[in-house]
Structure 1
Amino acid sequence: MRVYDRKGFLALPEGVIFCKGQPWAFDTLMVKGETMPTNDFTYLDLCDIVSFDSGDWFARLEDSLQNGTSYPMGDDYGRDGTFSETDVFLVFEPDDLRNLIAFAEAALPTPPKENKE
């Protein structure tokens, strides 16, 4: 993993997996979208669910907690918008991504074996 300042991070391509933070506390896992000309960028939060608006988002999370309802992972990119020049970005490098993939594959349920009679 490598830590970037804002200027270095904005120069990276779309699709980079990262966590944003302040030295040395990082936030949620995200995917970098496009770099904007306003010292800003878009991102996809990988720790979010699909919702129609903020009210629906809260209701769905509460429903999931109370009733066990499952919702798909969110797929909408948002704008960073509220930033500080002291933000730092912990960026996953190729070996880190391979490890992340291995963890995700290990977390998948094993399909039941077919009974051949």
Structure 2
Amino acid sequence: MAHDDSVLIESGLQVLKRYASRGETLSYDDLHRELGDPFKGADVAVQVGKLCDDITVQHSKATGLNLMISVLVRDSETGLPGEGFFQLAARLGRLPSTGDADAKRAFVLEQEHRVFMVFRPVKADTSGFAPNH
């Protein structure tokens, strides 16, 4: 892992789980602010990106799920995760290394859907009828 700070990784994971439970994405700047602006200097975006990689790797190891939970963190200009996200996906064998923008968008949508399926709360049956047994 690029970060030795397991507390920061866990805090970042909790932020991502909260956003996932609401079906929302956030920017790299949003995540940085949510964590209390832990990084300083000109390369804040790079540091946040590395943290996102660490969060994804840690979450996958802990759960056994092949989810790219950091798919929720997006570049505010492109609406997609940064290039490091796709490089990590390739290293983990989840996406072949590609420059194809359509393939990247499709992968992002698929991962986002999977993350939301895992973390969005199940809606209670509001029909008023008891389930059949």
More strand by proportion, 1 or 2? 1
- What is the TM-score of this pair, normalised by structure 1? 0.28
**More contact order relative to length (CA 8 Å, sep ≥ 6):** 1
More helix by proportion, 1 or 2? 2
